[in-house]
Amino acid sequence: MYVRHLQVGSFRSWERVDLALRPGPTVFVGRNGEGKTNLVEAVGYLATMSSHRVSSDAPLVRHGAAQAVVRAALRRDDREMLVEVEINPGRANRVRVNRAPLPRPRELLGLVRTVLFAPEDLALIRGDPTERRRFLDELLATRTPRLAGVRSDYERVLKQRNALLKTARMARGKAIETLDVWDGHLTDLGGQLLEARLRLVSDLAPYLAQAYASVAGEGAAVAALGYASTVPAAGDGAPPAADASVPSAAELTAAMRERVAERRGDELDRGVTLVGPHRDDMVIHLGSAPAKGFASHGESWSLALALKLATFALLRADGEDPILVLDDVFATLDAERRAALAAVARSAEQTLITAAVLEDVPAELRGVRVQVGGGSATVLDEGALDEGVFDETVPDDRLGDAG
């Protein structure tokens, strides 16, 4: 798929941008702080409804504005799709697809697919488990939108169960019966989430091994994936055997239920839920050691890149190229890694690249450029581009109420 036209209003540093884009590689070039990353962040937001740089939405809205809007006309399977999101920090977003409002903003997930590689991705290798859980769950929601619902139901049940654990410490008895009910909900949803994550890890692992080999070159150690779970049956972090099968959701629910029962005493003491996918981690291995704590800086960076290239390959194998977004990454790569990334970037249906220095971007990707600076973004490219797909009658930073 590709973005044919992008418009943002009151997003980050941008008051308004209106850009016609085309398939193939496009480089956003301009000095530091001019708003290049802000533009690709807007595209990424359409895919995940979150930013790769901040965990809340408030920083995405331009200082002084109440809300931001991101609109994109996309081409998918030769069909046109118009996606509009009004970002309302602290309140529900409003989303329209082909001008029809979505009852729940979450229903947008899976429609726009991007794979974004940015300096922040080093945290996938070196950061907390939270980073890797988020990576897995975002990819799950993209590939299987239903799981975004399972995930948010799980979060809701978890919150309620935690609240109950805190009061149950004081008043055992009645509260314990209620706890049993919540255990049922938690483990039912938890089993579904665990199964989905385990399948994803197993789907991704071969692509990761392949991508790491192509990025790190001959003779490099082999990259592998494991899942480390608070539910022993769901994995201890070691890469599973090649012929291992993923347990069913029902089996995982039963295993989780058992583990929850074992840990109930500790949970009551501490007032938090200690068992479940919200406490798990994906373990990235390099050779015989886990990457976290062992891999060098260069190896970690290569692993982060390989993980994103593996994601791209997996989504491509699902049937359609996601939009590849490369934020400020070429300058930090050596020649070999740059070439490996350039090969994928060239082959993708659309690649959006940001760079402060054009020469850092491999020559074969520099064809179409967007010059970013002074509060505007201008396409430097001959040839006609598609224009005029948006309704001009609504304010730029709001979605209209009609339709």
Ligand X SMILES: Nc1ncnc2c1ncn2[C@@H]1O[C@H](COP(=O)(O)OP(=O)(O)OP(=O)(O)O)[C@@H](O)[C@H]1O
Q: Which residues bind ligand X (CB under 6 A)?
A: 12-13, 30, 32-38, 59, 61-63, 328, 354, 356
Q: Which is nearer to Mg ion, 37 or 214 (CB)?
A: 37
Which residue, 303 or 326, has its beta carbon nearer to Mg ion?
Answer: 326
Least separation in angstroms between residue 54's CB and ligand X is 9
Q: Name the H helices within 29-121.
A: 36-48
84 binds, among Mg ion, ligand X, none (CB under 5 to 8 A by kind): none
Q: Residue 374 corresponds to which amino acid?
A: G
Could you give the count of Cα atoms lying within 13 Å of 64 in the half-sphere of its Cβ?
4
Euclidean distance between CA atoms 73 and 94, whole angstroms? 17
C-beta of 210 vs 371, nearer to ligand X: 371
The binder of 38, among ligand X, Mg ion, none, by C-beta within 5 to 8 A per type, is ligand X
Instruction: Give the three-class secondary structure for 18.
Output: strand
Q: 12 touches which of Mg ion, ligand X, none (CB within 5 to 8 A by kind)?
A: ligand X
- Residue 373 is given by DSSP the state E
Name the minimum Å distance from CB 358 to ligand X: 12
Question: To the nearest whole angstrom, how small is the minimum distance from the Cβ of residue 237 to Mg ion?
Answer: 34
Site residues (CB under 5 A) for Mg ion? Answer: 37, 328
Of the pair 1, 355, the CB lying nearest ligand X is at: 355
* Minimum distance from residue 321 beta carbon to ligand X (Å): 24
* 403 vs 395: CA distance, rounded Å: 15
Closest distance between ligand X and the C-beta of residue 308, in Å?
18
CA distances to 129, 162, 221, 268 from 274, rounded to whole Å, are: 14, 10, 34, 10
**Residue type present at position 129:** P
Q: Which residue has the tokens 């590849």?
A: 324
Closer residue to ligand X (CB): 33 or 400: 33
32 binds, among Mg ion, ligand X, none (CB under 5 to 8 A by kind): ligand X
Q: Could you tell me if 132 and 280 are in contact, meaning their C-beta atoms sit under 8 angstroms apart?
A: no
Residue number of the CB closest to Mg ion reads: 37
- Residue 59 or 232: which CB sits closer to ligand X? 59
19 vs 147, which CB is nearer to ligand X? 19
10 Å Cβ neighbour count for 92?
Answer: 10
Cβ atoms of 96 and 102 closer than 8 Å: yes
User: Which residue matches tokens 């039912």?
Assistant: 188
Pick what 209 binds: ligand X, Mg ion, none; C-beta below 5 to 8 Å, kind-dependent: none
Residue 331 beta carbon to ligand X: minimum distance, rounded to whole angstroms: 10
Residue 187, contacted partner among ligand X, Mg ion, none, CB below 5-8 A by kind:
none
> Which one of ligand X, Mg ion, none interacts with residue 234, CB within 5 to 8 A by kind?
none
- Alpha helices by DSSP H, listed for 71-173, are 122-126, 129-143, 146-170
- Which of residues 37 and 187 has its CB atom nearest to Mg ion in the complex? 37
For residue 196, the minimal CB distance to ligand X (Å) is 33
Least Å distance between CB 39 and ligand X?
7
Tell me the β-bridge partners of 100.
97
Residues 6+ apart with CB under 8 A from 238: 226, 283
Q: What angle do CA 200, 205, 207 make, to 5 degrees?
A: 105
In this chain, which residue has its C-beta nearest to ligand X? 37
In what helix (H) or strand (E) does residue 377 lie, and over which residues does it extend? strand 376-380
